[in-house]
Structure 1
Amino acid sequence: MYDSHKPHPLLAQVPLTVSPFISLPSAVTLPYTYKSVPSTLPPSVTFDPSDPDAKSRYVVSASGGHSAHPEEILASCQSLEDHLKKMQADAEATIKEWEESVKQRELAEKRRVAPGWLDREEKLLQPNQASSSRGPSRQSQQPSLLDSQSTDQSTSRTPAMQPRDEGEELDRAFGGLNVK
């Protein structure tokens, strides 16, 4: 066993010298206004003894007018995020409804112009012969101008067009040059 009051035999052989460059610490003098720290801490200012189940609101705003618990702040941020996501989903749904209504209006306009074109797989339109309610006899109907094969200009209802000769028109306007 080693006695703690006696120096160690090896250390006792080392001579000690005092260095002029090392100064030993001196005792600190306390000011007159010094108060000792109490041995017990005072009760917490964030804890409400009247409501022990309430969480302490120790996050205080810069103005000091509002305080909250971090869980309350996280809950309000989560509710704000949920609200923003719902608003974004509603806005996207509104835009999709609007785009669909525009497509439906364009489709209705195309169907008005070419009925039946968009409703079938085959894309060949064939005119249907309009059937008369009087019967299939064509002799009672007047022939169409497009169906007539008449070459007589007097029986035609439209004026006949005569072929134009630009050379003759120029000769009439400026006189003939008699070039042969």
Structure 2
Amino acid sequence: MHNNRAHHLLEQVPLTVSPFVSLPTATTLSYNYKTMPSTIPPSSLGVATASDDPSSQPKPKYIVSSSGHAAHPDDIIASCRALQAHITKMQEDAERELREFQERIDKRELAEKRRVAPGWLDSDARMLEPEKAGGDPSLMDNESEEQKVVTSQQAAVADEGAALDRAFGGMALK
């Protein structure tokens, strides 16, 4: 071993090659390979990382995702809370907008109903009743003499011959 030779006992053991084992090979870098920057830009999620606050000691990032991103559990919890707050705000905005939309529809329908029947929805009374005029007698009470004569004639003449004479005129026999 001192002169770059293996031990004489090891030289006697035969080596076998297994088809299931592949030894790692050296990777070749692309011709346009660029090194990574030494500083990473701030998070786009707005969550402060350990590198953003110089007063705090860096937290060990021992949770590693399959993509290679590493984070501390506190950072993950903070980003989850920020996401939950964002989703809650979006849901409240959507509910408020839906209520406003429903109120606009109700106002539009109420205006249409008031246009069709004014006064109907303005009070708790749900029966519309005509108001009687103060001293005017009813029109039915004020029948003229001509109308009374016509109605009495119609009642008196009930036979079919008279009805035909009225319709086609009288025919006198000569």
Give the TM bin, normalised by the shorter chain: 0.3 to 0.5
Higher helix share: 2
The TM-score, its normalising length taken from structure 1, stands at: 0.42
Task: Please identify the structure whose Cα radius of gyration is greater.
Answer: 1
